[in-house]
Every structure is written in C-alpha cells, then in structure tokens.
Amino acid sequence: MLDIRELRKAGEEIKARLALRGFELDLAAFEALDAERKSADVRSQELQASRKQASRQIGELVQAGKSVDDAKAQVAETLVQIDAELDREVQRAQAIQEQLREFLSGIPNIPHEDVPPGKDEQDNIEVRRWGTPRELGFAPRDHVDLGAGLRDGTLDFERAAKLSGARFAVMTGSLARLHRALIDFMLDTHTREHGYLETYVPYMVGPEALYGTGQLPKFADDLFRLEGERELYLIPTAEVPVTNLFADEILEAAELPQKRVCHTPCFRSEAGSHGRDTRGMIRQHQFEKVELVQLVPPTESDAALEALTGHAEHILQLLELPYRVVTLCGGDMGFSAAKTYDIEVWIPSQNTYREISSCSNFRDFQARRMQARWRNPETGKPELVHTLNGSGLAVGRTLVALLENGQNEDGSINIPSALRPYLRGAERLGG
C-alpha cells in the first residue's frame, strides 16, 4: 500500500510514475475522499469542543445559583443534539476511512527508478545470459513425451485428470524421486551456501495474510477459497505465510536481515489463462516451489534484490541449465512489486526461454499493509522494513527444464553432477 502522506504531497508525480505500469490513478477521486475525511474530522473536533463548552455551562449555571438538576436540564437538549450529530460524524468519518482504505488497496506499487517503460513482456529488457543451449542433433521431444516414455517412471496427466481435472499431474518412480531430489537440493543449497533459514508454514491462510502481501482484494479470482467454519485460502505461494510471519511486529536491527527459505505446494486457479500452456506442467493448479523471502532495512533492499536473484541463478548454474535474466517493464510487473527480475530457463521443445523464477523488491509496500517494522537504531523509532522474495526455484518447471535439456535420442535423461548425490549417484534416468 502506498503512503497516504506521500500521495497527498506528491500526487501528480506518483500518478506519472504509476502510468509507467499502465495504471491510471484517479487523483481527483482520492483528493475528494481525503477532503471529505478531513471535513468529517474537523466537524467531529468542533462538536467535541461544543460538547465540552456545554458541559462547562452546567458548572457556570450552578455557580450562578441554579441547582445541579436545573442546570443539567437547561443544557440537556443541547447535549442531546450535539451527541446525535457527533455520532453521525463519527460514522461518516469511519465510512470515508474505509473507502480510502479500499481506494489505496487497489493502487499498485510505484515502479522503481530503474524499471523500463512498456506494456507487456515484449518490452522487458534482457540483462544477461548464462550457458549455451545444447545442440541435441535430433528433434527435441517435450517433457510430456519424455515423461511418458521413461521405463522407470511416469508423468501421467490422464490419471491426474481423472482425480482432479485439467492442469494436474501424477508422477511415479524415477520422476517422483527426481522431483523430490530437486526440492532437497534447492533447500540444502540455499541454507548451506546462501545463509537462509529453512522454514515450515501452514498451507492455508486467512484473508488478512493475503491482504498483507497484496493478493487480496484485487486477485481473489486467482485463489482457491475453502468452505468451512473459518475463511481460509490455499496459499498461492510461500511468500504469503512466510512474509506475514512478521506482520504487526517490530524487529530489532540485530534481527535483520531475515532470510527465509520455504518449500510448499502452491495452489492457483489460473484465472484468465484459458488456452495458455494447456499441455504439460508449465501452468498447473497445484505445483511445488522453493521460495526465498527477505526482510531488510530500506537502505539495503536494492542490493538484497541483486543477491537474492543471484541465489536463484546459482541453482540453475549448478544444474547446468541455460537461462537468461530480464528486467520486467512497468506494464509486466506484479501488483506489489517495485522492481522484478524474471529468470527464464531454456526449453528446447519450445525453442525459447520460459520463466522459472520471479525475484522482486517490494520496498515498503507489503510492510505497510502488514505493519512489519524494525527499530532504526539511529532514531530509536519503529520504521517499515523492505520485503523481497523470489522463487528459488519453481520445482515443476525445473523438472521440465531438466528433462528437456538433458534428453538423449534414446529417451534417457542426463542428470547433472550436482544432483547425483540426491539420486543415489545415478547419472541418467531411463535409457
């Protein structure tokens, strides 16, 4: 959520910055609401003063010789009128405050100064590439065919559809082991080499947590809401519960940075994606992800984004998977992000790079919604932290990339050396 004080002070500048991401800020509507809120507050203060004056009048009448009962009776009607109007003004102020909250909740984050202008992914800027796509010497098969053809494991979408419908998968044998090995490999690398604390969280959260990280109220259609005695949602990413661990807390400076890594399943309705990536595991309703989350002092968040992105890249380098990094343009960024790097891995069957991780700096946008703060030792006062997260990595898409980049003509799959200890030393699957 944006700082309402900054919006009052620099509304036109913020409106221009938000236009970089294709968002039209209705500044006139904000100013009208804010003026109405101020009017209600001023009138409430005036009525409070009038009430105090009326109460003082009782004492003045008593001092002039009237009985207490007579004095109270003389000003009673005035007090009743004041109290009735004061109640109305308080209710009006509360209603306006809620309208302001809803208005601010629908405004996306202000783009970072480095974010390029643009409407969609065609306007993203490539930053770097790593690795060279392998020359296969034969027509590449996609992960669906490769998974179906392995002798010691299967990737089964038909049986998954029988259970749950489209956009689900069943894995068995060597593929299920490979999937599990990737999770362990990622967690071990991030905890041992990158200094993250492994964290386990619930897979269901209340609406407050989703509001805190920006999924609600705007993206309710993308979520799976559960029926039950409490309002709960399946998490779309571990970002939601892990970041919200620090909601309504004040961290001491010595407790920062907070670096957490968390493996969870993720659940997304994929609203609006009809017809996109219907084949295979690229876009599923249920998938696994190893998520990286950081909370840092504001002055450190730019550097933290570079480091976090590098941590996700390191996984791909160890797995010997070619990739590129792009800076998202304003129109392609997520709602809460101030700046995002997408890491895109090479997919031979599609002859292109596909997203495997998004790494974002949210600055204080999420922290303001969650009231996640730290005590600045220079001032001694609580201030908002900056939050960051990124996939380190999406496990299903990493599996897809491993199958396709490691494929041989006989249908077997080469296993990169860094992953072999997690597969009992196996150098390949199938074949």
> Residues annotated in the binding site for ATP, as ranges?
268-270, 355-358
- Please report, for residues 301, 360, 398, the alpha-carbon distance to residue 306 in angstroms, rounded to integers and kept in the order given: 9, 10, 21
Nearest C-alpha neighbor of 85 from the set 54, 51, 118, 47 = 47
Instruction: Provide the angle, in degrees to the nearest 10, between the axes of the packed helices 27-63 and 11-19.
Output: 150
> What is the chain's alpha carbon radius of gyration, rounded to the nearest angstrom?
28
Count H helices and E strands in the chain, helices first: 12, 18
The tokens for 323 are: 């990739």
Cα dihedral 56/59/61/63 (nearest 10) = -140
Whole-angstrom Cα distance, residue 145 to residue 348?
Answer: 13
Whole-angstrom Cα distance, residue 212 to residue 232?
Answer: 14
The 386-394 sheet, strands edge to edge: 125-130, 323-327, 339-347, 352-363, 386-394, 286-296, 258-267, 197-198
Whole-angstrom Cα distance, residue 79 to residue 83?
Answer: 6
Give me the amino acid identity at 205.
V
With contact defined as beta carbons under 8 Å apart, do 147 and 176 qualify? no
> 3-class SS at 22?
coil
Which residues define the annotated binding site?
A: 237-239, 268-270, 291, 355-358, 391
Point out the residues that are catalytic: 268, 283, 355, 358, 397
Nearest C-alpha neighbor of 308 from the set 428, 190, 188, 136 = 190
Q: Which residue's entry shows tokens 């208005």?
A: 103
The tokens for 288 are: 């696994």
